[in-house]
Amino acid sequence: MSICALGYVVITATDVAPWRSFACDVLGLMAGAARADGALALRLDDRPFRLLVQSAATDGFGAIGLECADAAAWRAVLAKATAAGVTVTHGDAALAKSRCVAELACFADPAGNAIELYHGRMTDYAPFVSPAGVSGFLTGNLGMGHAVLPALALGDAVDFYKGVLGFDDTDRISVPVTPDPDGPAITVRFLHCGNPRHHTVALADMPAPSGAVHIMLEALTMADVGRAYYRAKAAGHHISATLGEHANDRVFSFYVRSPAGFDVEFGFGGWQPDWTSYVPTISTIDSLWGHDWDFG
């Protein structure tokens, strides 16, 4: 597939300090090297960052960084995007340096979600050491996790991810938003790219004032999730969903509200389907147990 993984997420912040305590003390991420631009680099593994918190006028989601395996794959995706009428802006050397990549280009999906498409990610091999004792995060060729983004015109957005970016269907779900099972529902489309992660991007036909619905990080053990859950509660962060197990991707997780306003799903145990024999499904529930939601 053209795109191999979610490489990073850019976040905007009016003040990066709350992110430092939330990400390092609660989630257990490692602060990266200090940067001249003042952005906060947050590490999950041996890459210079997986989350980049940039000073800005607003708190919210900035962009997803999607990784291509090489320059040829990168150019091919950009050519398809241009042919589809997408406005593509090539990042300059300063932006590429900021993202620690060889080359990148910026565009938006049909819902307006910002995408940075790159190849040639730099790796400094510094070992990941969690300040909160997290044993580690599942990354490597699976990418850093997944992102769930808003797309009110859901069909157009799905067509773009499949037809232009080369994603494919994993699953879909429609969840009622009222006690009436036949009442209004939110539909989520789960899409995978060129790695075994159940979904790298999901699109939901719901508004998200912060710019994202949630991002997901996958720890290496169940204990990592439980400990993070109790750290988040002890620190007084809003728990958007209690511990639970998702039906479609089997992730054991909880959701905590980040300083950006969107949730971080902190999980473990995601299913990695064999795409050569996989048949897309339609789920009628979101979780096997738990995940009591509190959207307040």
Contacting positions for Fe ion (CB under 5 A): 216, 265
Minimum CB separation of residue 102 from Fe ion in Å reads 30
Pick between residue 91 and residue 267 the one whose CB is nearest to Fe ion.
Answer: 267
Pick between residue 130 and residue 200 the one whose CB is nearest to Fe ion.
Answer: 200
Q: Which two tokens stand for residue 25?
A: 């003390």
Q: Which two tokens stand for residue 198?
A: 């159940």
Alpha-carbon distances, residue 176 vs 80, 183, 186, 285 (angstroms): 36, 6, 6, 10
Pick between residue 116 and residue 265 the one whose CB is nearest to Fe ion.
Answer: 265
Q: In terms of C-beta distances under 8 Å and separation of at least 24 residues, what long-range contacts does 267-270 make, across chains too?
A: 267/216, 267/217, 267/218, 267/219, 267/225, 268/218, 268/219, 268/220, 268/221, 268/222, 268/224, 268/225, 269/218, 269/222, 270/138, 270/197, 270/198, 270/218
Q: Which residues are CB-neighbours of 264 under 8 A, at least 6 positions away? A: 27, 214, 215, 216, 217, 255, 256, 258
- Give the N- to C-terminal CA distance of the chain in Å, as an integer: 39
Minimum CB separation of residue 250 from Fe ion in Å reads 12
Pick between residue 103 and residue 265 the one whose CB is nearest to Fe ion.
Answer: 265
Q: Which two tokens stand for residue 223?
A: 């204990």
Residue type for 152, please?
L
The string of DSSP letters for 266-277 reads EEE------TTT
Pick between residue 2 and residue 287 the one whose CB is nearest to Fe ion.
Answer: 287
Phi, psi of 272 (to 5 degrees): -120, 90
Minimum CB separation of residue 57 from Fe ion in Å reads 28
Other CB atoms within 10 Å distance of the CB of residue 129: 10
Minimum CB separation of residue 272 from Fe ion in Å reads 15
Minimum CB separation of residue 136 from Fe ion in Å reads 19
Residue in the shown chain whose Cβ atom is closest to Fe ion:
216
Residue type for 63, please?
A
Pick between residue 28 and residue 270 the one whose CB is nearest to Fe ion.
Answer: 270
Closest CA to 104 of 281, 255, 36, 93: 93
Please give the torsion angle defined by the CA atoms of residues 235, 128, 44 and 123, in that order, rounded to the nearest 10 degrees: 150
Pick between residue 10 and residue 216 the one whose CB is nearest to Fe ion.
Answer: 216
Minimum CB separation of residue 200 from Fe ion in Å reads 11
Minimum CB separation of residue 129 from Fe ion in Å reads 26
Pick between residue 216 and residue 232 the one whose CB is nearest to Fe ion.
Answer: 216
Minimum CB separation of residue 294 from Fe ion in Å reads 16
